[in-house]
A and B are shown apart, each in its own frame.
Chain A
Amino acid sequence: MMRRLLPRPGLSVALFLLWAVLTNAASFATLLLGALLALLLPFIVSPFWPDALRVSRPGVAVKFAARIGWDMLLANWAVARRVVGPVAKLHPAFVEVPLDLRDPFAATVLGSIVSLTPGTVSIDVDRERWVLQVHALDAPDPEMLVQQIKQHYEQPIKEIFRC
């Protein structure tokens, strides 16, 4: 019964919160409209909505998000300095990160995080070999960068989604 009324509870909650944030929760009427949309939209999108993974360790996820925020600040600073400094001395490199993840959604999350932390942009996820192709602005030691991405980002993602 619950499943029939709420095919995707997570999506409904996310939609409602997003609506509340967008409208600054202005009045009861707007919240009611938001609730209505949150109930109806999942029915419309569910035929083509991919199955997202469940977050099985919310505590780890929150800590991970905080770490990414901090990493983004540090990395922004590091890249800003390089951009202003001597550009010719940079060591840009294509780096291939072999993945232990085997889930397209988790791999997309990892790729996005790698792109958001400045200094690295993910180019492609090869789903046949499970390799994440990354371009680094300045990587004198590519092997270290691979280890860093695997330890700092891939490991927690595996833990959070348990995949």
Chain B
Amino acid sequence: MNPAVEFLVASLILLGALFALLGSVGLARLPDFFTRLHGPTKATTLGVGATVLASAVFFTATQPGLSLHEIAVMVFLFITAPVSAHLLAKAALHRGKDGSND
């Protein structure tokens, strides 16, 4: 594999891992339910986005033909992530705005 491609794939994976980590750090550090909701949305957009893009670049470079099904993964994630966040938020609103358990 071309060193430039290798570098690109490695940086994308690192970037994705970094944002997945930051999403988890947010989940752990933020004070209440609604602020915590912001962590996972980040992990799915940039974290998974960059990882999946790395996969597309890697398999396009190492195998014959384009590898595009990663794009479909991204599209589905971008459609479903807001829905799950929305449902979580609605459930929490139902229990009271501070999102506490009682």
* A57 vs chain B, min Cβ distance (A): 21
Q: When A and B form their complex, which 5 residue pairs have the shortest distance between CB atoms, in order from nearest?
A: A115-B82, A83-B26, A112-B82, A123-B89, A118-B42
A122:B86 contact, CB within 8 angstroms? yes
Q: Which of A20, A72, A76, A88 has the most CB of B within 10 A?
A: A76
- Given A92-B34, A112-B79, answer yes or no on A118-B45 (Cβ-Cβ < 8 Å): yes
Q: Mark A83-118, 1 if CB is under 8 A from B, else 0.
A: 110011010101000000000000000011011101
In the complex, which residue of chain B has the Cβ closest to the Cβ of A118?
B42
A135:B45 contact, CB within 8 angstroms? no
B95 at the interface (CB under 8 A from A): no
Chain A contact-residue range equals: 20 to 34
A73 at the interface (CB under 8 A from B): yes
Residue contacts A-B, CB under 8 angstroms, 10 given: A20-B68, A21-B69, A23-B69, A24-B69, A25-B68, A83-B30, A84-B25, A118-B38, A122-B82, A122-B89
- Given A80-B22, A135-B37, answer yes or no on A123-B69 (Cβ-Cβ < 8 Å): no
A76:B19 contact, CB within 8 angstroms? yes
A87:B29 contact, CB within 8 angstroms? yes
Q: Which of A87, A116, A119 contacts B31 (CB 8 A)?
A: A87
Q: Mark B4-48, 1 if CB is under 8 A from A, else 0.
A: 000000000000000100100110011110110111011001100
A73:B46 contact, CB within 8 angstroms? yes
Q: Which of A18, A24, A80, A116 contacts B67 (CB 8 A)?
A: A24
Chain A positions within 8 Å of B90 at CB level: 123-124
A119:B69 contact, CB within 8 angstroms? no
B residues near A (Cβ < 8 Å) are 19, 22, 25-26, 29-32, 34-35, 37-39, 41-42, 45-46, 65-69, 71-72, 78-79, 81-83, 85-86, 89-90, 93, 97
In the complex, which residue of chain A has the Cβ closest to the Cβ of B97?
A94
A residues near B (Cβ < 8 Å) are 18, 20-25, 72-73, 76, 79-80, 83-84, 87-88, 90, 92, 94, 111-112, 114-116, 118-119, 121-124, 135, 137
B86:A115 contact, CB within 8 angstroms? yes
Chain B positions within 8 Å of A114 at CB level: 82
In the complex, which residue of chain B has the Cβ closest to the Cβ of A125?
B86
Q: How far is the CA of A146 from the CA of B90 in the complex (A)?
A: 20
Q: How far is the CA of A116 from the CA of B38 in the complex (A)?
A: 10
Q: Which of B19, B35, B39 contacts A92 (CB 8 A)?
A: B35
